[in-house]
Amino acid sequence: MADDHLNKITKGRCLCGQVQFEMQGELRGIVNCHCSKCRKFHGNYGAYTSVKVEKVKMTQEKGLKWFRSPTDETPNVHRGFCSECGSSLFWHPRDQPFIAVAAGSLVEPTTLKTIGHVWCSQKADFYEIKDDLPQFDERWIA
């Protein structure tokens, strides 16, 4: 069936299971964000897929908390995490149709590939980007 991928369900969860969710349909390839805010939030660069907000269904949100991130370059960004285990999970500019979902939360096999790097201008000094994928100083420019 040609439309099979539209019905595909990918699950995600935090480390302890107090946040669990499902996403319907095709997910974007993984983009690594090297900005200083993601590096604080994730402990290193952030790896994200992205999906339309309405395609995300929370199946357990007992632990879910949102931190409004005033220093993010994108306006009105809220970062979602589990208040029980501390897993970093979501990057969501409210008023925008897409939500970025931390790749580490996805239940494998994801069938996704990493497709590039953003905010390389804010990369930490203790690692190099050694693959041949596209790199952007700031946002992804299509």
Closer CB to Zn ion, 63 or 80, in the complex:
63
Return the SS3 of 42: helix
Closer CB to Zn ion, 14 or 102, in the complex:
14
Q: How far apart are CA 98 and CA 57, in angstroms?
A: 14
Burial 20-43 (b: 16+ CB within 10 A, else e): bbebbeebebbbbbbbebbbebbe
Are 7 and 25 in contact, with CB atoms under 8 Å apart?
yes
**Which residues lie near Zn ion (CB under 5 A)?**
14, 16, 18, 33, 35, 38, 63, 82, 84-85
Measured between its terminal Cα atoms, the distance across the chain in Å is 30
- Closest approach of Zn ion to the CB of residue 88, in Å: 10
Closer CB to Zn ion, 35 or 106, in the complex:
35
- Closest approach of Zn ion to the CB of residue 4, in Å: 31
- Closest approach of Zn ion to the CB of residue 17, in Å: 6
Closer CB to Zn ion, 38 or 51, in the complex:
38
